Chains A and B, each alone.
Chain A
């Protein structure tokens, strides 16, 4: 058992709903009740709230408060599992509720003073916090039972929401003890379980959101209806940087249901009583745009500039050994360069946000991913204090990074509309799919150039990797910590920390400043391109060296046992080295591998592909091995990796946002098609047993998928694909 002292950081608060204890919080005490306080609609009276994450009702309901957004990644279930484990709660009686925006209680411990969800941190940053929260609640329930029954606390057992004393054959439910538990002293020393005693963590528990999400009951931002609410659809500029010159509102106003048309900094908003009328009104608007300052380059021109830049050295992100010398002495040099397009997140729920301005504050309903940033942005616009901005965190219909807006873009757009109508009605901003796809905030377009040096003894001695692409972190609240000496750390993550033991290595970066296309983190961020270039290039080097791709990697990974561990496991489960069943006449089949660490989790994937005569690629099977520390919910780890494979294949096979003369060419799923079920491979996920603290799983399954497939294609056809998405024309037999 681990014992944790936390006397110094405790804060007591006597609140109206019983005892509330702000646990492990910064020095400022949290209010016991406040605007947007979760639980207003909870079942039964809530006499016991031992901390900010847990409430127990007299009806035995146990409510876990999630400070993180549920956007599909299984957070609500995972966080509840951790707390319920230490509380010994009854999983069936447990419900999860989204926390209000309050950085004092609900900050992301990895982000310092800000509340928000991202970077696959939800489970990792909450692990200790929620174990303690559960253990504290349990200790107080035990204390209450000991008092009521006059027995030693040490003789009391807790299991599945029932507290019992074997000798006296007494038992009580959590609900029965809740009131008395609230009066118990807050424990100063907490006993956490030995992982071998876990009953929920690492076991099969059911998702907490399955029932609501299979009956149409789950509430997304799109579903919010408020009395008197207006729906807004906005005419956005056709190019980045264009502004409204003039507009004629009359055709929009002529649409039945349209009640107002207002200009905002982002364009022209049409407000109506319902979505369809607002959209019809928006489509009827005639807007003249001032495009003098607008960005007018196309993707091909941007790429051409990047290729020019790549001829010159950039800022050095990593240097070890003497790379010049290694290349000078090389007997063989391998080269490749890569082009990665802009990518849209294209979550199934297009962006939207509901805002109501009232006396003394504003209320937001949103699939909220950046509470603190959005509170400050809205407070600034409305002249409020951040704590006067109440945020109701609803389910998000996907995000993949998009709802974690670095500058509150869509939330502010909704707020500007509310402001333009003087707050006279609540407003639901709805982006049509085309608005969502054309708004920017893309995974940045990147160009990479790689070179490897092999010496006369057949050793890989030198590695050069140059990257060119826009900075995501610039202009975000993370800039101070994540841009070091001009280098955006996420531009080079996965490249600057290449795990392979290559004695002489240079990684450098160009960050073009003159491309105003908004860019943003996209599921797995920098690793979405660095894993592809590094893992296909090392494969190409292995071929050039006449080595097996798995064997070469393992030789170079001796200092990285967790990389090596997943690589060996995936290779073994995939039958690496055994012959692949051949395809039909004309079909070429191949197997390929990739391994990559991101967000402190390690994933290796082996792909099996079939390439048809016409060059079309079918991914048949993906065998994945994952080391994410303790797998809190193994089934969710599997689900996330399955989904990550599909998400990555969408990009590899089809995903490309292109600009032409500054205009985005794609608008809907016809031009930007996500993977369909008919293209989805079989996916096997193997989890490495671990006692290390849990790390992320929402993103780490993405990076190795595309390079594993590309390496399989190379094995099948001899052709190395260096431009994404894959072009079947390059693979015609």
Chain B
């Protein structure tokens, strides 16, 4: 049994300890908003927050995050920055296929939590681990600026 705290709820999981957090969230807890894209920390689709920091859940075994606070896209709007980012994404209709967007939003929230007024270069730096095959990047940049404006 591994104990996780996911979106504020303690959970007991009966999974192999090498199971990546991604699959524990998706297959065991049925929190399917966090996506599988590469399994190798190359695409960012699986990004969640662990104690507030962005992490590629495909490359972290559950045993390594036992007892730590995990936030997924399903609860991102519970925090102010998360809500503002989500609203900016909706206002600008950033999404296309949407598959990468949970990860994009989680990374954007993490960026804005550290840096309330990121420049384009800072956005590119913080977001370059999140691939979008639909290439919604123009709007991702714009939505982060939009959220930054709404946060002041």
Q: Which residues of A contact B (CB under 8 A)?
A: 71-74, 206-207, 209-220, 222-223, 225, 231, 256-257, 274-277, 346-350, 395-400, 432-433, 635-636, 639-640, 642-647, 649-650, 668-670, 674-678, 680, 682-683
A217 touches B33 (CB 8 A): yes
> Hey, which chain B residues are within 8 Å of A210, CB to CB?
89-90, 93-95
Q: Report yes or no: B105 in contact with A214, Cβ–Cβ below 8 A.
A: yes
A674 touches B23 (CB 8 A): no
Per-residue interface assignment for chain B, residues 69 to 90, with 1 indicating a CB less than 8 Å from any chain A CB and 0 otherwise? 0001110110000000010011
Q: Which residues of B pack against A, CB within 8 Å?
A: 15-16, 19-20, 23, 26-28, 30-40, 42-43, 45, 72-74, 76-77, 86, 89-90, 93-102, 105, 123-125, 127-128, 130-141
18 inter-chain pairs at a CB distance below 8 angstroms, sorted by A residue, are A73-B96, A207-B93, A210-B93, A211-B90, A214-B86, A216-B102, A220-B99, A274-B28, A349-B37, A349-B97, A395-B98, A397-B97, A642-B135, A670-B42, A674-B132, A676-B128, A677-B137, A680-B141
| Alpha-carbon separation in the docked complex, A350 to B23 (Å) | 15
B9, chain A: closest CB distance, angstroms: 15
Please tell me if the beta carbons of A669 and B32 are within 8 angstroms of each other in the complex: no
With CB as the reference atom, state the residue of chain A lying closest to B42: A669
The total of interchain contacts (Cβ-Cβ below 8 angstroms) comes to: 184
- Among all A-B residue pairs, the 6 with the closest Cβ atoms: A216-B33, A646-B135, A397-B99, A213-B98, A72-B97, A72-B96
Known: A397-B99, A677-B123, A677-B140. A214 touches B135 (CB 8 A): no
Contact, CB under 8 Å: A213 / B135: no
> What's the nearest-Cβ distance from chain A to residue B75, in Å?
9
A635 to B39, CA, bound (A): 33
CA of A71 to CA of B134, assembled, Å: 10
Is B141 touching A346 in the complex (CB atoms < 8 A)?
no
Q: Which residues of A contact B135 (CB under 8 A)?
A: 642-647, 649-650, 674-675, 680
| Bound: A73/B135 CA distance, A | 12
How many angstroms between the C-alpha atoms of A399 and B42 in the bound complex? 19
Instruction: Give the residues in chain B near A215, CB-CB below 8 Å.
Output: 33, 73-74, 76-77, 86
Q: How far is the CA of A71 from the CA of B135 in the complex (A)?
A: 13
Give the chain A neighbours of B35 by CB distance below 8 A.
220, 222, 348-349, 397
A646 and B137 in contact (CB under 8 A), knowing A274-B27, A348-B35?
yes
Bound-state CA distance A256–B14 (Å) is 11
Shortest beta-carbon distance from B40 to chain A in Å: 5
| A207 engages B95 (CB within 8 Å) | yes
Q: What is the CA–CA distance of A636 and B136 in the complex, to the nearest angstrom?
A: 12
**CB-based contact A225/B30 at 8 Å:** yes
- Residue from B16, B73, B134, B141 with most neighbouring chain A CB atoms (10 Å): B134
Q: A214-B89, A674-B133 are in contact. Are A433 and B16 (CB under 8 A)?
A: no
CB distance from A431 to the nearest CB of B (A): 10
**Residue of A640, A644, A668 ringed by the most chain B CB atoms within 10 A:** A668
Inter-chain pairs besides A348-B45, A646-B136, 15 sampled, C-beta below 8 Å = A72-B96, A209-B95, A210-B94, A211-B90, A217-B33, A222-B35, A225-B30, A348-B131, A639-B96, A642-B135, A674-B135, A677-B127, A678-B128, A680-B135, A680-B137
When distances are taken between beta carbons in the complex, the residues of chain A under 8 Å from B97 are 71-72, 347-349, 395-399
Is A223's CB under 8 angstroms from B100's CB? no
| Most B C-beta atoms less than 10 A away, residue of A71, A217, A277, A680 | A680
User: Which of the residues B74, B99, B138 comes within 8 Å of A348, measured between beta carbons?
Assistant: B99
Query: By the criterion CB–CB under 8 Å, are B33 and A276 in contact?
Result: no
Closest CB-CB distance, B82 to chain A, in whole Å?
10
Determine which residue in B20, B40, B45 has the highest number of CB atoms from chain A within 10 A of its CB, and name it.
B40
Inter-chain CA distance A644–B134, complex, in Å, is 8
* A350 in contact with B36 given A642-B138, A677-B141 (CB within 8 Å): yes
Question: Which B residues lie within 8 Å of A348 (CB)?
Answer: 35, 37, 43, 45, 97, 99-100, 131-134
CB pair A639–B128 under 8 Å, yes or no, is no
Whether A682 lies near B138 (C-beta < 8 A) is yes
**B residues in contact with A396, CB < 8 Å:** 97
Residues of A close to B125: CB separation below 8 A: 678
A346 to B97 alpha-carbon distance, docked (Å): 13
Are B100's CB and A216's CB within 8 A? no
B142 to chain A: closest CB distance in Å? Answer: 10
Residues on B with C-beta less than 8 A from A433 are: 37-40
Distance (whole angstroms) from the CB of B64 to the closest CB of chain A: 15
Which residues of chain A are near B90, meaning CB under 8 Å?
206, 210-211, 214
Measured in the bound complex, the distance between the Cα atoms of B35 and A74 in whole Å is 21
Q: Inside 8 A of B16's CB, which chain A residues have their CB? A: 256-257, 276-277
Contact of A276 with B31 in the complex, beta carbons under 8 Å: no
Contact A642 B139 (CB under 8 A): yes
Q: Is the CB of B19 within 8 A of A397?
A: no
- From A212, A217, A639, contact of B136 by CB (8 A): A639
The answer on a CB contact under 8 Å between A669 and B43 is yes
Bound Cα distance A206, B89 (Å): 11
User: Given the complex of chains A and B, what is the CA–CA distance between A214 and B85 in angstroms?
Assistant: 9
Nearest Cβ on chain B to A395's Cβ, whole angstroms: 7
Q: Smallest distance from the beta carbon of B48 to chain A beta carbons, Å?
A: 11
* CA distance in complex: A724, B135 (Å): 20
A669 to B99, CA, bound (A): 16
| Given A218-B98, A277-B16, A668-B40: A683 touches B32 (CB 8 Å cut-off) | no
| A209 CA to B90 CA, complexed, in Å | 9
Query: How far is the CB of A589 from the nearest CB of chain B, in Å?
Result: 19
Complex contacts, B128 vs chain A, CB 8 Å: 676-678
Residue contact B40 to A677, C-beta cutoff 8 Å: no
> Which residues of chain B are within 8 angstroms of A220 by Cβ–Cβ distance?
35, 99
Residues from chain B with a CB closer than 8 A to the CB of A206 are 90, 93
Which A residues touch B33, using CB under 8 A?
Answer: 215-217
List residues of chain A with CB within 8 A of the CB of B27. Answer: 225, 231, 274-276
Whether B99 and A677, one on each chain, are in contact in the complex, defined by CB atoms closer than 8 angstroms, is: no
Beta-carbon nearest neighbor of B135 in chain A: A646
